[in-house]
Amino acid sequence: MGMSALVWVAQALAASVSMQVERTDLVEGQTAALQLVVTDGTVTGVPELRAPEGLQIRYRSQSVQSFMVNFKTSTSVVYQYDLMALQPGSYTIGPFTVQSGSGALPVAPVKVAVRPREAQGALDRVQATLQQEAWAGQVLVYRMQFQTDRNMVSAQWTPPDLTGFAPESSIQPETAESQVMQEGKKITVEDLYYPIRAQTPGTHTVPGGVLQGQFVVSSPTAQRRRQPLFGLDRFGDVSAEIFSSAPIPVTVKPLPPGAPPGFSGLIGRFTIQVTPSAKTVPVGGTVTLDIRIRGDAPLNGVRLPALEGQGWRVYDDQPTWQAALVKGKIEAEAVFKRAIVPQAPGPLVIPATSFTSFDPETGAWKEVVAAPITLDVTGEAASVTLNSYGEAPPPQVDAIGEDILPMRTEARLARAWTGAMSWVMLLPGAGLLAAGALPGLRARLADRSRRSAPTEERPDFSRLPADPERRLAELDRILRAAIARRLGCTAEAVHKEQLPALGELAAEAEAIYRAMEAARYRGDGIDEARLKRLVDALALGAR
């Protein structure tokens, strides 16, 4: 018995992994929930589940559950995934091995069948395009297009997992939606343009991208039932479907040997334009050259060769680069600013500005060149002395403090000063409030206790005897005592004939007097509350 209990406990604490699929019979384009449950094991990060081609698994979230087994707490981490059926067929997911703190944990395989999609939209079509030859380092645009004649509410793209390529981070992906008429039907066209950079030479297969679309589903009866309110109920019920594009083979060629020394990795077609801010400049003045390089590939990091020359100086500013997708094509621009300060009069020839790139269409190195620029420098040569500005005003120089403020030498290095102890600010006020309220409170309590104590004037009706006869006698005694106090005589001296002397209470006293006699001789009940009210009224008048 003891041994089997030990076995149960050990089983309860052993780490294990299980995989469950919401349903194993799927339709092409359908998504099912997949759970990986790790019990009593520690897994670093999210377990990566590789799906066979035709399926896709995407991590969604995780949660933790704790439960008691044999008086021991077990903890399960549940990893939630989306299992997407992309192509019809029979598949086996797994087996896998999940690495945990207690070693490798095996995961049993799960079989899934995917049936072909039933025709929904006659014109649903998904396709991906990518040029099938590229050079290593070249940036390409992967285009995925989806067409449908159904009412699509939203589209969510998942780009393909890339091998031999990498997403180009300097350009944001672009999505576009348009509508065209085809055979009298309105066709919605969704486009994704996704920039990628070819990295490794060789032949690669870019797998299909995935689009998850949400479509309006409404039966004729549902349409009749639902009356649109101000057109707000446009979408109705929706269903999600998944479409994937076919894989594309791409051959990535290495760049030819013999790259020129100035080549910085630019692959594409580029132009260069140099514009001086002025053609005429005095000695010591400044002309700014605006140099713009434009092309169909990102220009990030490109640098111009240094300019050197006799009789002038050059100062480079920080260049700016930008690149974006415009209607699926890359448009990139780099802007350089160069300040030229001539030091001698006469014509000044700024040499040609150039850089080296690789043209992917011709497969050859190319020198992109801007023509030299000639400036007319006027005035005298700058003197070496500082006091020789002559009549011309000296150039304005703005001195800008370009340094941070100095460090501090004194500090009160107390521990953290937080609001945690701020409640002490309440104490003086609370003390004063308590001190102010205490006398009144004490008086009120004393008054309450005085009023609540039973006296002859205010007899305690709650402590009357239970026996009817004794109770009636006690009520008679209380009533007589109250009348006697009011009339200024003894209780024994009270007679019925004296009641009119009670004034406005006389009628009520006589009525109660009669009621008490009736109770005494006929056994009738008596209204004790009425009697109490009379006693209170008599006591009030007697005071």
Partner 1 sequence: MIGLAALLLPGVLAQAPDAADATTAAPEVAGAASGQAPETLWAGAEQAALKQDFTTAAAQYRQIIGQGVVNADVYYNLGNMLYRQQQWAGAILAWRRAARLDPRDPDVEANLVFARRKVKEALTPEREAPWFAPWQGFLSPGEGQWLGMGLAGLGLAVLGLRRRGGATAPSAEGAAGLAAAAVAAGLLCWGGGWQAAHAEPGGVVLAQETRLTSDLSGGVELFTLHAGAEVRWLDEAGDRVLIGLPDGRKGWMAAQDVGRIDPFAPFPALP
**Interface residue list for partner 1 (CB under 8 A):** 45-46, 58-59, 61, 157-159, 167, 169-170, 172-173, 194, 402-437, 440
Q: Which residues pair with 281 in a beta bridge?
A: 377
Parallel, antiparallel, or unpaired: how do β-strands 185-198 and 139-148 relate?
antiparallel
How far apart are the C-alpha atoms of 347 and 361, rounded to whole Å? 40
Nearest distance, CB of residue 279 and partner 1, angstroms: 33
- Give the residue with the Cβ less far from partner 1, 3 or 413: 413
Parallel, antiparallel, or unpaired: how do β-strands 25-27 and 110-115 relate?
parallel
Nearest distance, CB of residue 348 and partner 1, angstroms: 32
Nearest distance, CB of residue 59 and partner 1, angstroms: 4
- Give the residue with the Cβ less far from partner 1, 56 or 353: 56
Q: Which residues pair with 525 in a beta bridge?
A: none
Nearest distance, CB of residue 297 and partner 1, angstroms: 17
DSSP 267: B
Parallel, antiparallel, or unpaired: how do β-strands 280-282 and 373-378 relate?
parallel
Nearest distance, CB of residue 198 and partner 1, angstroms: 17
Q: Are 137 and 128 in contact (CB under 8 A)?
A: no
- Give the residue with the Cβ less far from partner 1, 5 or 430: 430
Of the candidates 483, 478, 432, 431, the residue with the CA atom closest to the CA atom of residue 459:
478
For every residue of 422-484, DSSP letters joined together read GGGGHHHHHHHHHHHHHHHHHHHHHHHHHHHS--SSS--GGG--SSHHHHHHHHHHHHHHHHH
- Give the residue with the Cβ less far from partner 1, 258 or 429: 429
- Give the residue with the Cβ less far from partner 1, 346 or 431: 431
- Give the residue with the Cβ less far from partner 1, 225 or 412: 412
Nearest distance, CB of residue 440 and partner 1, angstroms: 7
- Give the residue with the Cβ less far from partner 1, 193 or 270: 193
Which SS3 state, helix, strand or coil, does residue 535 take? helix
Q: Are 117 and 95 in contact (CB under 8 A)?
A: no
Nearest distance, CB of residue 211 and partner 1, angstroms: 13
DSSP 184: T
- Give the residue with the Cβ less far from partner 1, 10 or 434: 434
- Give the residue with the Cβ less far from partner 1, 167 or 260: 167
**Residues shown for the chain:** 543
Nearest distance, CB of residue 46 and partner 1, angstroms: 6
Strand order in the sheet with 202-206: 133-135, 248-253, 202-206
Q: For residue 11, which amino acid is it? A: Q
Angle at 194 between CA 189 and CA 195, to 5 degrees: 145
Nearest distance, CB of residue 412 and partner 1, angstroms: 7
Of the candidates 498, 488, 492, 463, the residue with the CA atom closest to the CA atom of residue 476:
492
